Amino acid sequence: MHVTDATPTLVMGVVNVTPDSFSDGGRWFDADAAIAHGVELVAQGADLVDVGGESTRPGAARVEPDEELRRVIPVIRELSARGIRVSVDTMRAATAEAAVEAGAEIINDVSAGLADAAMAAIAAASGARYVAMHWRGHSDRMDRLAEYADVVHDVRDELASRVDALVAAGVPAERIILDPGLGFAKRGEHNWQLLARLDELGALGLPVLVGASRKRFIGSLLPDDAPVEDRDLPTAVISALSAQAGAWAVRVHDVVSTRRALDVLGAWQSGRRG
């Protein structure tokens, strides 16, 4: 994988319409606040906005399906009406279907269809692009599932198996995007190994989304009392390195720092071309 002028890495800004996100603690739980934040992220340089109504932080409890819909659909509908490209962060087929009807063009499913047996059929019928993330279980038990022989090979092979299942269910391969699932059933060293060997995931021939933003393994590089926002600069560095490795997009909370890092990378590469 490598970045070219024709395929620059996209910036996906995060809008958590939740009261319990680890990263922003309910700041955008109100629909109007979430919409305003999505608009702000685009003004700051986000290419698309990822709207989610259920926290997937370690130990998080699931929300009821109707509550997830109540949280995300008005936000997606309004952002889409303003011409903003939107993805929906959900594991539920019914939420994905309603979100696409409201204007979402991407279904970002952290379970790659494993959490809801109906998801593959909805993804196939929707026409939306589909992010399949590496996943081994829900947030309340995922830390116990972080055992690998070789994390990169295992993640690659498990994602390849999910791609086969999705294609068999009718999802065109050209609509599938892969996500290594940093922080999901992964210990700190697993995340760094996946990032350092991102090209091995790219060898599957599908776009790769990197979602490292503000996660625990970044926090381990900082003082124990550092606020979560101190993880934004390391996240921006990861964004630039991921772009250099060929990532299709990076999913981030702080768009400004990542956009600047990608601009530096672009200028660096243009200097090489003279």
Residue 106, classed as helix, strand or coil, is: strand
Instruction: Report CA-CA distances (Å) from 113 to 4, 109, 142, 162, 217.
Output: 31, 7, 16, 8, 26
Query: 52 near 139, Cβ under 8 Å?
Result: no
- Give yes or no: 215 in active site: yes
Residues facing 49 on adjacent strands: 13, 86
Residues facing 117 on adjacent strands: none
Neighbouring C-beta atoms of residue 209, cutoff 10 Å: 24
- Give yes or no: 186 in active site: no
| Residue-wise DSSP of 113-151 | TSS-TTHHHHHHHH--EEEEE---S-TTTGGGG---SSH
CA angle (59, 178, 89) in 5-degree steps:
50
Q: Of residues 251, 259, 260, 273, which has the active-site annotation?
A: 251
Q: Of residues 197, 215, 231, 259, which has the active-site annotation?
A: 215
Report which residue type is found at 221: L
Query: 170 near 135, Cβ under 8 Å?
Result: no
Catalytic machinery residues: 215, 251
